[in-house]
């Protein structure tokens, strides 16, 4: 009888509220309903925005998206004014557990002196900055001491704020390559690197390395297919993984339902990865026409990380001579490769390599993408629908549509007219929870 009376009372209150033009009280236990209003909306798929935008959020999911939708009874209304609503942004290439400094040698020593606990605490600060910059999902492609796994799990449990994370645990690479500790005397860091650091050899060794990474929490497999800029002991463009090794990595990763991201500045190393079926090429500073044509044909994504190139070539950066020379060479070639990829229609996903650049400034990548030839709409899609497709989570995030996670960002102004507006984030919602709201 008491339950029936309570239900009847709620019904009477709802009718009374409707008669008075007021919002009815929410049913106890029902998911909270929030309505977002803004001047315009970019859904992550199209080339244009819709005006008079309304998004209805119920609990953690998007219930409805459109223009001039009715406000459900009992909903909280957040009017964002002259702003553009977008899907929560996705950065496909980050390292949230560290951050570089202008002086490479000083930064290297400071990082060696930090305890694991200190680095873990700092990583929570980087994660918060990234989320508040509008990036509700990241693919984190390499960390030490399983810090990325711990950070991912802490964010997932709600212990600390941050973007949802897909993590690699560590990058897989060859002895003496970009994913190894190079450029130092023998045993500077104790015993030689092994599976825990992602270093392996031979097809069977790399197959085991994939299994090892997955065993300890990897959502994605990261491979160092060529040399790198910031590693002191290798050439930036030389291949570091043999075709047999790369095929073994990709085959095993795909068998375990993990995608493969390959760091590759050099064209030959990239072609090894593309032919093996890797899902994305990261950086791609020296990609030639053959590599780009292969990517177009096979549907391989390009994650250009233009911000990393910008920051490593900054005149404020102080590097040892061998690193400075590699940074200069990569910067000189990268823009041309990026432009040719755009012209060919190679699939492009947004990625910054944040850690090389300061965390929380990810949106600077949009302006660089447009400067290299993308339209604002193409750049925005790269950080929404395209990135979600690359990460294999397009059914959950990446576009504004009913049934998806309520990952929603609002920026001041219209980024389709001036993509620099992406740096003016005013509102961030992740999974239906408000993470930032500048009123």
List, edge to edge, every strand of the sheet that includes 301-303.
Answer: 171-172, 220-224, 259-264, 280-283, 301-303
The domain 31-86+402-437 having CATH identifier 2.60.40.10: the answer here is no
Closest among 179, 183, 173, 199 to 232, alpha carbons compared: 183
Coil, strand, or helix at residue 237? coil
Residue 166's SS3 state is strand
Kindly report the number of other CB atoms within 10 A of residue 371's CB atom: 14
The proportion of the chain whose per-residue pLDDT surpasses 90, expressed as a percent, equals 86
At 27, give phi and psi (nearest 5°).
Answer: -70, 130
Please tell me the class of the 89-362 domain. Answer: alpha beta
How far apart (Å, rounded) are the C-alpha atoms in residues 305 and 285? Answer: 10
Phi, psi of 61, deg, nearest 5: -120, 155
For tokens 């994913």, the residue is 179
Evaluated on CA atoms 182, 188, 189, 190, the torsion sign reads positive
Q: Which residue has the tokens 């309520």?
A: 406
Burial class (CB in 10 A: 0-12, 13-18, 19+), 8: exposed
- Burial of 375 (C-beta count, 10 Å sphere; 0-12/13-18/19+): middle
Give the residue among 38, 37, 36, 42 at the shortest CA–CA distance from 417: 42
Q: What is the pLDDT of residue 187?
A: 78
Predicted pLDDT at 180: 85
> CA separation (Å) from 244 to 79, 206, 254?
56, 10, 15
Strand order in the sheet with 135-140: 89-94, 135-140, 164-167
Residue 378's pLDDT is 98
Q: Tell me the residue length of the chain.
A: 439
pTM of this structure: 0.91
User: What pLDDT is attached to residue 93?
Assistant: 98
- Cβ-contact 222, 264 below 8 angstroms: no
- Alpha carbon distance 368, 370 (integer Å): 5
Which residues of the chain are under the pLDDT cut of 50?
1-25
Identify how many contiguous H helices and E strands the chain contains and give both numbers: 13, 16
């Amino acid at each position: 009888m008491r339950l029936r009376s309570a239900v009847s009372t709620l019904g009477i209150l709802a009718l009374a509220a409707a008669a008075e033009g007021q919002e009815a009280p929410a049913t106890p236990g029902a998911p909270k309903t929030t309505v977002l209003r803004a001047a315009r909306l970019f859904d992550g798929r199209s080339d244009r925005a819709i005006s008079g935008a309304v998004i209805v959020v119920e609990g953690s999911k998007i219930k409805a998206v459109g223009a001039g939708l009715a406000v459900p009874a009992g909903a909280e209304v957040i009017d964002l004014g002259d702003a553009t609503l977008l899907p929560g942004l996705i950065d496909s290439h980050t390292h949230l557990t560290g951050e570089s400094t202008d002086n490479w040698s000083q930064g290297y020593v400071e990082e060696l002196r930090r305890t694991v606990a200190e680095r873990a605490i700092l990583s929570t600060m980087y994660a918060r900055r990234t989320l508040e910059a509008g990036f509700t999902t990241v693919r984190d492609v390499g960390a030490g001491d399983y810090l990325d796994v711990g950070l991912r799990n802490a964010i997932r449990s709600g212990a600390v704020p941050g973007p949802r994370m897909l993590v690699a645990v560590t990058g897989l690479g060859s002895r003496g390559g970009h994913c190894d500790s190079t450029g130092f005397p023998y045993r500077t860091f104790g015993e030689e690197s092994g599976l825990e650091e992602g270093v392996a050899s031979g097809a069977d060794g790399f197959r085991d390395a994939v299994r090892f990474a997955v065993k300890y929490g990897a959502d994605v497999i990261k491979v160092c297919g060529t040399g790198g800029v910031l590693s002191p002991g290798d050439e930036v463009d030389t291949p570091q993984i043999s075709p047999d090794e790369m095929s073994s990595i990709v085959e095993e990763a795909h068998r375990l339902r993990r995608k493969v991201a390959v760091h590759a500045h050099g064209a030959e190393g990239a072609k090894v990865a593309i032919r093996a079926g890797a899902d994305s090429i990261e950086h791609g500073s020296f990609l030639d026409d053959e590599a780009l044509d292969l990517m177009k044909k096979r549907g391989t994504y390009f994650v250009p990380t233009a911000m990393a190139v910008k920051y490593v070539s900054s005149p404020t950066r102080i590097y040892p001579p061998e690193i400075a020379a590699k940074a200069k060479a990569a910067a000189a070639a990268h823009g041309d490769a990026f432009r040719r990829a755009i012209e060919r229609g190679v699939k492009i996903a947004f990625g910054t390599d944040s850690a090389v650049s300061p965390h929380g400034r990810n949106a600077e990548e949009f302006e660089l993408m447009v400067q290299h030839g993308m339209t604002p709409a193409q750049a925005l899609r790269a950080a929404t629908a395209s990135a979600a497709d690359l990460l294999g989570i397009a059914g959950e995030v990446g576009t504004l549509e009913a049934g998806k996670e309520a990952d929603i960002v609002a920026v001041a102004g219209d980024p389709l007219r001036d993509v620099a507006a992406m740096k003016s984030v005013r509102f961030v919602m992740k999974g239906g929870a408000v993470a930032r709201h500048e009123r």
